Amino acid sequence: MISQEQINYFAGFIASGFGYLLKYLHSKLNEALQVAYEARNKVNQLERDLSYQATDLKEIKIELRTLGDSINRLNT
């Protein structure tokens, strides 16, 4: 027959194993969350960079159009 002490020992072993598993899963979730935050921040930075580049390209297009108009006036 199994004694109460053996049952308690086994239950403690299972509980500590379960606690270890929960701690491990918690650390992995925190790592995944950190990676997700870093990825989101990088995407936000890339979006800002693209927005600035689009603005720069619009300004360059306007300047080229103005330069083209000036060249056309000089040629006439």
The 10s digit of each residue's pLDDT in 31-68 is: 999 999 999 999 999 999 999 999 999 999 999 999 99
What is this structure's pTM? 0.62
The rounded distance, in Å, linking the Cα atoms of 72 and 74 is 5
Distances (CA, A) of 2 to 10, 17, 50: 11, 21, 70
The answer, yes or no, to whether residue 76 has pLDDT greater than 80, is no
